[in-house]
Structure 1
């Protein structure tokens, strides 16, 4: 009749729901294999499928290759943390917002070591992870800049953008050292320490510095 036959439910579950469920299992397996240890082995489609209990046939209905899976795992983790961090900041009074954001990030890393390793462990040298980490740094810098311009009425200019990148890079490097156990602060100590530094950098002090004007090169 010129129309495609509808795909019937299997066991009462619609086809799109089965696909979504298998995709979720593959993402969970990818996170486990990527972040389950400090020295994760090279990720393979076979290993992911074995961890998820899914055949390779179903892997390729959701992902073109293993790199696409790695990117999707990373994106899901970052999206979850960004959403919960924004919610935590929005729910806190202005003077507590830096602490609320930092506490949410640190606790997410502390509660699931796999997340900490995926985002911050320098031993994970997967090329896709390296690219995604760089992209995420830009995203979090934008969020940090938006927070500063809104909370402290600072101008949304290149000066503020550079400061946001500086802050995000410093926080990321500190948490990376903590995840790698080069920094041995407790969770509460790390939150307090990062909050103090952010509070010292943000607000009127940052605004009062103004843009930096490049000095002319010295004559030789």
Structure 2
């Protein structure tokens, strides 16, 4: 592989750019067909890259699927993390949920990845559970960090997981058209339910 700069970009930058193009192509295909419809050939054709460049970044189709899932999760986590924790907990919860729901509403691809049944892929199923754990841990850390008194993280984690699971189910119903609500209305409902679980007035 050439190590010479090409149009001002080094080889590592070009590899990263091609990898990003493949992930975007995979996200597009997942959004249209579901994860089972994503193929190496289809992704390469959409990204306008050859198989050689695919295997430069990924061992195979499954590795690409995990990267696409991770990218979608990162986009949603970034939307939530962009909301600063300040003031009362309830407005913060509502603002965080509004940001995430707005991101899902704006990008049908993220919505499709979020709603996908990953039970047919053990690797994706494991990654999905890891993602839920990461979200619950992030929320737990924030709650314990702003608590006025001492709070055991283990005692917080269970109700957080309960809330995360419930919110995800409502999101699935909303995205599937079984729950009619605007982004703001859904954020109101979910933040109210979670506030009740934690006894937040």
2:100 corresponds to 1:105: yes
Which segments of structure 1 move beyond 3 Å, counting only runs of 4 or more?
151-154
TM-score normalised by the chain length of structure 1: 0.81
Number of aligned pairs?
A: 198
- Find the counterpart in structure 1 of residue 134 from structure 2: 139
Task: Say whether 1:58 aligns with 2:53.
Answer: yes
Where does structure 1 lack aligned partners over 5 or more consecutive residues?
Answer: 206-220
Alignment correspondent of 1:171: 167
Q: Following the alignment from structure 1 to structure 2, what is the Cα–Cα distance between the partners of residues 135 and 102?
A: 20
- Structure 2: gaps (5+ residues): none
The answer to whether structure 1 residue 94 and structure 2 residue 67 are counterparts is: no
> For the aligned residues, what is the CA RMSD?
2.2
C-alpha separation in 2, matches of 1:86 and 1:156: 23
TM-score relative to the length of structure 2: 0.88
C-alpha change, 1:12 and 1:178, in structure 2 (3 Å) is same
Structure 2 residue 46 is the aligned partner of structure 1 residue 46: no
| Distance in 1 between residues matched to 2:200 and 2:192, nearest whole Å | 15
Which residue is 1:36 aligned to? Answer: 32
Alpha-carbon distance, 1:152 to partner? 3.5
Counterpart pick for 2:64 among 63, 69, 81: 69
8 A Cα contact 1:141 1:164, kept in partner: yes
Match of 1:158 among 154, 158, 166: 154
More helix by share: 2
- In structure 2, relative to structure 1, the CA distance for the partners of 1:130 and 1:177 (3 Å cut) is farther
For residue 17 of structure 2, the aligned residue among 16, 21, 27 is 21
CA distance in 2, matches of 1:30, 1:125: 19
State the match for 1:130 in structure 2: 125
Q: Secondary structure at the match of 2:82?
A: helix
Per-residue displacement from partner, 1:3-49 (whole Å, max 9, x unpaired)? xx971122332211111111110010010011235x56522100110
